[in-house]
Amino acid sequence: MMGWLTYKLGDICDFQGGSQPPKSVFIQEEKDGYIRLLQIRDFKSDDKAIYIPEAKKNRICKNDDVMLARYGASVGQVHRGKSGAYNVALIKTIPNTDIIDKDFLYLYLHSESFQKRLMSVAERSAQAGFSKADISPFEVSVPPIPEQKRIVAILDQAFADIEQARAKTEQNLKNARELFESYLQQVFSQHGDDWGVKKIAEIAETCLGKMLDKKKNKGNPKPYLRNQNVQWFNINTDDLLEMRFEDSEYERYAIKKGDLVICEGGYPGRGAIWEQDEDIFFQKALHRIRCHNPLYNRWVLYYLYLSDCNGTLKNSFTGAGIQHFTGKSLKQLALPIPPVELTEKFVRNFDELFNHVISLEHVYHNKLNSIDELKKSILQKAFSGELTKEKEGAVA
C-alpha cells in the first residue's frame, strides 16, 4: 500500500443527517413548489414517490451524492443516483474530494472493512442505528486520487461482469420455475372426456385448526403449526410454539403424514404436504385437507399452486384488506379431476419435475452466493492495496 495514507473518516468526510417533515404535507404527485422526499425505499423503487413543500430546512442531495441508511433493518445500505430532500433515515456523505474521490468512497462504504465496523456500533444502539460521531473515528487508508480512479475503473468493470453473471443466473432460476408452471398449466387445462370437475368438499374432509384460548388452558402442551410455518411445498418446524390440547381434541386437530396443510390467512392458499411420521397439531389460521383418496392430496396441492401463480386463486379469498381463504370458500373450490390412473401418472411427473427444479434452484442459489462472495473478495483486495498495476490484468 505504498503511497496510501491513513485518516480518520471524519477528517476527510463530513456527514449530514436528513430532516423529517410532517406527513400532513405529503402529496403523491409532482407539483410546482414541491420536491421529492427521498426515503430508503425510494432508492429501489419509484412506486410510492412522495413530495413535500420546498423549504430551507429541507436537507438536499444530488444524484452523485453517496447516502447511508442510518437505522433499522436497512442500516448500512449505501445508495446514490437520486436527487431530492432526504429524510432522517438517511445520512449524506460530504467528502473532501481533494483526498477521497466520491466513487472511491461509494465503493469503500460497501466494503466489509467498513460494514463490519458499522454493524458493531449499530448493534449497540437501541434502534440498531448510528450517528456521525459513531463512524467519524473509523480509520480509512486511501491512495492518491489517480490511483483511486484507477481502482474504481477496475472495480466498475469487474462488478459489471459480476452483475451480468448474476442476471443470467437469476434468469435461469426464473426459467426453471416457469418451465414447471408451464407443465402444470398444460396438464390442468387438458380436461379430457373422462375427466370430471369436483368441489373440494366432494373429494376431501377439511378442518380448521384450533384457536388459542388462554382462558380455557386445559390439556397437555403440544407443538403446533402456524401459517408462517407453511411455505409452498415445505413445512418449517424450526420455530414451533406449544398449545394445550385435551385428549378429546387430538383426532380433530392432529395432522397426519400425507395430509395437505393450507393457509387460511397470512398467505391464503399457500400449502404443503406433512411428510413426517409423527403427528402434529395446527392452529385456526390453517386448514387440514384429507382427501378420501390420499393420492389427490398432492393433486390438489399442485392445482392450488398453479392457481396462485396465475392469479385465479385470489378469486376465492374474502376480505378487502387482510384476505382469508375461509373454510366455506375452500370447500366450494372446484377443480378438474382425471381418472385415478391418470392422476397417479401426472402426480408422479409433477413430483419428478418439481424435484428437478428444486435441485436446479439449489445450484443457482449456491452460484448467487458465490457471486456475492466474489464481489466481497474483490472489494477486500481493492481496499487492502492488492489492485496494484502489476496485478491489474490478473484481477480484471
327 and 219 part of one domain: yes
Residues 16, 18, 23, CA angle at the centre, nearest 5°? 175
CA dihedral 271, 276, 259, 240 (to 10 degrees): -50
Q: Does residue 134 share a domain with residue 263?
A: no
pLDDT of residue 224: 93
> Could you tell me if 232 and 321 lie in one domain?
yes
DSSP state of 285: T
254-268: average pLDDT: 94
For 86-90, 100-104, 215-219, which range has the lowest pLDDT when averaged over its residues? 215-219
Written as one string, the DSSP assignment of 79-135 is E-S--EEE-TTEEEEEE-TTTS-HHHHHHHHHSHHHHHHHHHHHTTSTTSB--HHHH
Together in a domain, 328 and 244: yes
Whether 357 maps to a domain, the answer reads no
What is the pLDDT, as a whole number, of residue 1? Answer: 67
Share of the chain above pLDDT 90, in %: 76
Our measurement of the distance from residue 241's CA atom to the centroid of its chain's CA atoms, rounded to an integer in Å, reads 24
- pLDDT exceeds 50 at position 357: yes
* pLDDT tens digits for range 34-76: 999 999 999 999 999 999 999 999 999 999 999 999 988 899 9
What confidence category does residue 396 fall into, taking pLDDT thresholds of 50, 70 and 90?
very low
Instruction: Give the pairing of strands 204-208 and 90-95.
Output: unpaired
Residue 138 and residue 205 in one domain: no
First to last CA, the chain: 19
Whether residue 371 is contained in a domain is answered as no
Q: CA-CA distance, 109 to 138, in Å (whole number)? A: 11
Question: Are 322 and 205 contained in the same domain?
Answer: yes
Domain-located, residue 237: yes
Indicate if 128 and 210 belong to the same structural domain: no
* CA dist., res. 354 & res. 181, Å (int): 10
245 part of a folded domain? yes
Please say whether the beta carbons of 116 and 88 come within 8 A.
no
**Of 337, 358, 391, which marks where a domain is finished?**
337
Spatial strand order in the sheet of 220-225: 241-245, 220-225, 280-282, 254-255
Given 109, 142, 175, the domain boundary residue is 142
Residue 135 has pLDDT above 80, yes or no: yes
Where is mean pLDDT largest: 212-216, 350-354, 381-385? Answer: 350-354
pLDDT of residue 393: 45
Confidence of residue 225 (pLDDT cuts 50, 70, 90): very high
The predicted structure's pLDDT at residue 216 = 67
Q: Is residue 22 part of a domain?
A: yes
- List, for residues 138-180, the tens digit of each pLDDT value: 999 999 999 999 999 999 999 999 999 999 999 998 998 899 9
How confident is residue 388, by pLDDT bands cut at 50, 70 and 90? low
What's 231's domain CATH number? 3.90.220.20
Q: What is the mean pLDDT of the chain?
A: 91
The b/e string for 131-152 (b: 16+ C-beta within 10 A; e otherwise) is eeebbeebebebbeeebbebbb
> How does pLDDT run across 308-342, given as a tens digit for each residue?
999 999 999 998 778 999 999 999 999 999 999 99
Does residue 391 carry a pLDDT above 60? no
Same domain, 23 and 101: yes
Residue 392: is its pLDDT beyond 50? no
Arithmetic mean of pLDDT, 80-96: 96
Q: Give the list of residues 6+ apart from residue 13 with CB closer than 8 angstroms, or none.
A: 93, 94, 95, 96, 100, 105
Residue 172 in domain: no
pTM for this entry: 0.69
Q: Could you tell me which residues come within 8 angstroms of residue 234 by beta carbon, excluding any fewer than 6 positions away?
A: 272
* CA gap 269, 316 in Å, rounded: 9
- Rounded-to-integer distance, Cα 329 and Cα 320, Å: 15
- Per residue in 295-312, pLDDT tens? 999 999 999 999 999 999
Q: Tell whether the model's pLDDT for residue 105 goes beyond 70.
A: yes
Query: Are β-strands 84-86 and 34-38 bridged in parallel, bridged antiparallel, or unpaired?
Result: parallel
pLDDT, residue 214, reads: 67
CB burial string 309-343: b at 16+ within 10 A, e below: beeebeebbeeeeebbbbeebbbebebbbbeeeeb
**Residue that finishes a domain, picked among 124, 142, 160:** 142
Residues 135, 47 share a domain: yes
Same domain, 19 and 114: yes
Residue 83, CB-side half-sphere exposure with 13 Å CA sphere: 4
| Structural domain boundaries, residue 233 | 196-337
Number of domains in the chain: 2
Distance from C-alpha of 114 to C-alpha of 221, rounded to nearest angstrom: 47
Pairing between strand 280-282 and 220-225?
parallel
Separation CA 269–CA 278 (nearest Å): 24
* Residue 281 forms part of a structural domain: yes
Note whether 200 and 312 are same-domain residues.
yes
- Is 17 contained in some domain? yes
Q: Do 179 and 42 meet the contact criterion of CB atoms below 8 Å apart?
A: no
Is pLDDT at 345 greater than 90 in this prediction?
yes
Same domain, 9 and 104: yes
Which pLDDT score, from 0 to 100, does residue 382 have? 85
Q: Are 274 and 318 in contact (CB under 8 A)?
A: no
Q: Which cell goes with 257? A: 403424514
DSSP 3-state assignment of 17? Answer: strand
> How does residue 203 score in pLDDT terms, banded at 50, 70 and 90?
very high
